[in-house]
Amino acid sequence: MGEGDRASEARQAWRVLETAKRIHAEADVDRALDRMALAIREAVSETNPIMMVVMNGALVFAGHLLPRLRFPLEVDYIHATRYQGALTGGEITWAAGPSLDVAARTIVLLDDILDEGVTLRALADTLRARGAAAVLKAVLVTKTRARAAGLEADFSGLDVPDRYVFGCGMDYNGFLRNTKEIYALP
C-alpha cells in the first residue's frame, strides 16, 4: 500500500472520528486510571512486579498509568495481535516476546481492551509457561459481552458497549490511537 493510500485512509479515519459517538470523556479516563493505579498498588507494590505492556494498543494506556504507580517496578513489552490492522480478529501473530526474565516474578499485563479475551489469555499462558509466579491482567476498557475465552481482568478501568471502539490507544484502521477520549463507531 502506497503513501497516498495511507493518506486517504487517514482522512477517512478523521471522518469516522467526526461521526463517532463519544463513550467516555477524558475526565472519565483520568478517574479510571487513578482508581486502577490505587488498586494495582495495593495488589502488587511489594512484589517487584514487571508491568508488561501489550503493544501497540496499550502504549497510550501504559504511558498514562505508569506515572501513577508510585512504587518500584520494571517495564517490558510483548507484542502479539489477532488483528494485523483489520477490524476483526484472526489467528494470533507473535511479533516480540518479553526481554526480561519473568521466572518467579509477578507480571501485570497492561492491555487496551478486553474483548473476547483470546489474545490476553494466550499472553498470560505464555508468561506462566515461562515461569511467572503470578500474572494479573489490567485493561483500560472491558467490553460488556460474554467472552469466548472465559477470561476476566483483574483490573479494569471502564466498561464499553459491545461495539467497535477506539481512542486512548485503541485504533481505527491503525489511526486515532492518540485521542484522549474513547469513541464507538456510529
Beta bridge partners of residue 160, listed in sequence order: 143
| Per-residue pLDDT tens listing for the chain (186 residues) | 566 799 999 999 999 999 999 999 999 999 999 999 999 999 999 999 999 999 999 999 999 999 999 999 999 999 987 655 555 555 677 778 899 999 999 999 999 999 888 888 989 998 999 999 999 999 999 998 866 667 899 999 999 999 999 999 999 999 999 999 999 998
Structural fold of domain 3-184: Rossmann fold (3.40.50)
| Chain Cα centroid distance, residue 111 | 2
**Cell output for 18:** 467526526
Sequence-ordered strand ranges (E) for the chain: 21-24, 50-55, 74-81, 93-96, 106-114, 134-143, 155-160, 165-166, 182-184
Cβ–Cβ < 8 Å for 48, 100: no
Cα(7)–Cα(11) distance, integer angstroms? 6
Domain residue limits, the chain: 3-184
